[in-house]
Structure 1
Amino acid sequence: MKEVVTLFKEQFESLGMIFRISKYEDRASYQSHYLGLVWEYLYPLIQICIYWLVFGVGLKHGQSSGVDYLPWMVIGITPWFFMNRATLDASKSIYQRVSMVSKMKFPVSALPSIKIVSNLSSFWTMLVVSIVVGLIYGIRPSIYWIEWIYYFFCMIMFLIAFGIFNSAVSILIRDYHVLLQSVMRMLFYISGVLFNFETGSFPPVVTRLLQLNPFFYVVSGFREAMLGQGWFWQRPTLTIEFWLIVLFFLLVGSHLHYKFRSRFVDLI
């Protein structure tokens, strides 16, 4: 637990630097492209159109829980796009910069957080898009929308915990990042992003196992908040399970990080 406290202390002490570097990385990533940062928002919009045409039109998954498929899918895919990219970027953040930070005094634990923050701009844009799509389809603001604050906090906490874990393991096991990419592709289809497996034909045991996925907790949470389907405390078991998973990654990730941090350069 002491390592977890140290981890968060370094994050708070480095907040200013995290935001400055993430802003610079946003600009640097697309500086050689004609459309620049427009791709940050254009790519997910293109993906949404593809999934809507395939699953909403082609496969006739037109509705879920009485809601049109497009707004249902968009509000779920918005946090997924952010979590997917932030997870993969954070996992290789230390590996990419460890040679640089080894030559200067730098809080290495802040590198995964920089990647998380640098992806936030596209998340806010996509959230606005999902709200507009919802309004077009007749979804109106409700008191449940304040739950987005809670689920946003859940999302950031999970990404920090998962990011510090993945970034350390990616250095210790060089093949881990490749494996993580494959796992994230699989999780996309079993996290309730494109279809609602809770109302499907899955056996109860399979459905229960799929609900343990922390990505599902965040995706379904954002969706339930927008559609006004309930409060997070009405799902106490899932909530406790989610925070236990976050705590697990925090404890193991911070332990691996501080145990091997002085050897990161040698391990690479």
Structure 2
Amino acid sequence: MVSFILDLMKNRKMIWTLAIKDVQTKYLGSVLGIVWAFVQPTISILIYWFVFQIGFKSTPVGDIPFVLWLLTGLVPWFFISESISSASNSIIENSYLVKKIVFRVSTLPIIKIISSLSIHVFFIVVLFVFFICYGYALDLYVLQVIYYLIASVILVLGISWITSTLVVFLKDVAQLIGMGLNFFFWLTPIFWNMSIVSDKYIFLFKLNPFFYIIEGYRQTFIYKEWFWEHPFLTAYYWIITLVILSVGVWLFKKLRPHFADVL
């Protein structure tokens, strides 16, 4: 693992260049170009806001306007779902690179995650702007975004190494990933408040590692709580994340020699 991290640092310029190229290529040929990367999530946010705020007349959560509460859940989820979806197909989409011995194939999911991360950073800035416009001053808690950003990247990376490896051998896995993300989308408290859940079932929702990230953003922007104030949940998250990451590294290394034969 240490050698892998050092190798990433050594090739960081190449990874960053390929990540930028990935974003540009994704929207190549369209009239608006890369602007679509920002337009699509924005439209989704507006649709969700209209349906729940106007249609269902959702009330403020505590004393927090519903739109702010909703944004702090949607913004990190968009990054998680987009990263996993795109990174899972990164190897089969770049099969020509797999056959090049000098190319480190394990960086392909990372490139997809970084390209998604660049869009995510923009929407984090949008979050800051929304909170300022609603009269909420920025404080030291916003620095915690960096922590949750790193936490989500490591989790997504571990998942992506597993899924991108499996997709090479089992194409049906790509469909299962889409179904799984849809399942976790509603299982994670993005649109609904945990206060409606019975105390005896709350621990079940906390088993979902995405719960930690979504609630982490809300603790940062809304509830003003540090992550170390939830030691057991934080410990559980990192144990699960490191296990997923280790499985991803092991599975990738074990099956990497067979990629070229299948592709």
Q: TM bucket by the smaller chain? A: over 0.9
Taking structure 1 as the reference length, what is the TM-score of the superposition?
0.93
Give SS of 2:94's match: helix
Match of 1:262 among 250, 257, 261: 257
Q: TM-score, normalised by structure 2?
A: 0.94
Of 132, 137, 149 in structure 1, the residue corresponding to residue 146 of structure 2 is 149
Q: Structure 2 matches for 1:185-224, cutoff 5 A? A: 185-196=182-193, 198-200=194-196, 202-224=197-219
Pick from 166, 169, 174: which aligns with 1:172?
169
For 1:24, the equivalent position in structure 2 comes to 21
Q: Counterparts in 2 of 1:1-268, with a 5 A limit? A: 4-196=1-193, 198-200=194-196, 202-268=197-263
Q: Is the 8 A contact 1:82 1:120 kept in 2?
A: yes
Unaligned regions of 5+ residues in structure 1, if any?
none
Per-residue CA distance 1:94-132 (angstroms, 9 max, x = gap): 122133331341111100000001112211211111111
Q: Distance in 1 between matches of 2:67 and 2:37?
A: 21
**Would you say the 8 A contact 1:79–1:219 is kept in 2?**
yes
- Please state how far the C-alpha of 1:83 moved relative to its aligned partner: 1.1
**Aligned partners of 1:90 and 1:228: how far apart in 2?**
32
Shift of 1:56: 2.0
In structure 2, the CA distance between the partners of 1:214 and 1:208, relative to structure 1 (3 Å rule), is: same
Matched residue type, 1:35: L
Per-residue deviation at 1:148?
A: 1.0
Question: How far 1:6 sits from its partner (Å)?
Answer: 4.3
Q: How many residues align?
A: 263
- Deviations along 1:119-148, one digit per CA (max 9) or x if unpaired, are 122112111111111122222112211111
Distance, in Å, in 1 between the alignment partners of 2:132 and 2:19 is: 32
Shift of 1:30: 1.0
The CA RMSD over aligned residues, in Å, is 1.5
In the TM superposition, what is the alpha-carbon distance from 1:206 to its structure 2 partner?
2.8
Kindly indicate whether the alpha-carbon contact (under 8 Å) linking 2:59 and 2:66 is maintained by their aligned counterparts in 1: yes
Instruction: Look up the SS of the partner of 1:144 in the other structure.
Output: helix
Q: Residues of 1 paired with 2:48 and 2:146: CA distance?
A: 27
CA contact (8 A) 2:97 2:103 kept: no
